[in-house]
Chains A and B, each alone.
Chain A
Amino acid sequence: MEIIANYGDILLMLAVAFGLFMAWGVGANDVANAMGTSVGSGAITIKQAIIIAVIFEFAGAILAGGEVTATIRKGILDANIFTDSPHLLVYGMLASLLAAGTWLMVASNLGWPVSTTHSIVGAIVGFGAVGVGVDAVAWGKVGNIAMSWIVSPILAGSIAFMLFRSLQNLIIDTKHPFDNAKKYVPFYMFLVGFVISLVTIFKGLKHVGLSFDLSTSYMLAFGFGLLVMLVGTLIIRRIHVDPNENDDFHFTSMERIFSVLMIITAAAMAFAHGSNDVANAIGPLAAIYSVIESGGLIGAKSALPIWVLLVGGGGIVFGLVTYGHKVIATVGTGITQLTPSRGFAATLAAAATVVIASGTGLPVSTTQVLVGAVLGVGLARGLAALDTRMINKIFLSWLITLPAGAMMSIIFFFMLKGMFGA
């Protein structure tokens, strides 16, 4: 207790610094994967991608980021263990932030496809199990998270498969794909707006102090969906068939309609990513804040202060602007096989999965979910060639990331313990 009282301010400052570091890493690397499909399909430019990412990552973090933050803050560790030694929790969370941030940087430079989510969960489990005691980890909850890492890519893949199939039946494989695209794409726009806002209203908004009853929530989501649809339809209306564009079916003209849809979907993806991955940085920060603010009380019920979310959102944006644009550029120029229609199916499926996971408070790996979604489109015979070697690589990087994050957080944990006293 004295440690918290004596060093509270310094610890909190450290937490903000490490939190920013971690958020910077998320913005610099992860966002690129989230936005890569949109840029790669040629639907949006890199500049547009960055603007969309800045706005919607931030919005996602603030409006819908609360639930996952809560899981990382108190779901992974058993709070009762820390009642007598709250400073250990503070050390541990500091160590986790630093460990995950460092690992993210090292691995990205080596070109390993690590996940920010895996890093932070591994780090928290690591210091908890070794630094404090095996009982300190809420293994049931960790098991759930681990399960979701397998379930979420499969879910995203299935959604992507079905979405692409529906596009195929309604639009692409018809006599007049262009006309049908004009007719049906607005409904997909509605779908994007509806799903995203519904989950946000249900699960996210209570963290910023807003809550609605069930019917109002549905009405609001419906309204937002309609708004998205309306704006989208207005833009689509200005697209016409270019007679010079190849052959009978006007696929090229059709894809321009999908480009508009893709911008909306890219925004949804950025939103989803912000809502899920910002928690990786601010979850530990929020935990530290609540311990220090309550003077060492673990169970204290404290609302998530808005400035913590701002630190996370700001850090992500900072990372994106300083470094992420380079990564988006490399990703964006590489993917030539994704047309806007395929990119749409993959990205929306991934976004929907991530938003739903965020709503239930599960930290999922955005990258894994995206990979699952891309595979789903491939299975629907939508892509010329997918290299399945990448799946092994991702699996391997996942296996390495957990112990690596854990190991580093254990080391940092004992260092902090030595510096500030046990």
Chain B
Amino acid sequence: MRLKEIVESLSLSVITGKEQLDREITGGYCSDLLSDVLANAKEGNVWITLQVHQNIVAVASMKSLSGIILVNNRNPDKDTLEKAEEENIPILTCPLSSFEVCGKLYQLGIRAYSIFHYLVQK
């Protein structure tokens, strides 16, 4: 699934990275602890968080995440915006809570499952 499809389905506002919405999403990860995201998010995941400071862009870029969804009507800091534009990281915002965003993404079929395990099992 591509980012723009979830932007449409969840009516997200695109704050940065308008050119990057064709990115494929490999799954989702939800956490507000940066170390946890560094340890456990997977490449190409979309990240759901309430953190808005510019370090979220660094983390997303380190882990090559496909984008960041900010919840509860939170808006990114000015520095975050500049950094995100510089690093080409899409930032999306919405009035929903983390719980609701995750639930809706799950309904759309976004998982955190591994194709590798799938192939080995079959």
Chain B binds chain A:
no
Residues of A within 8 A of B (CB): none
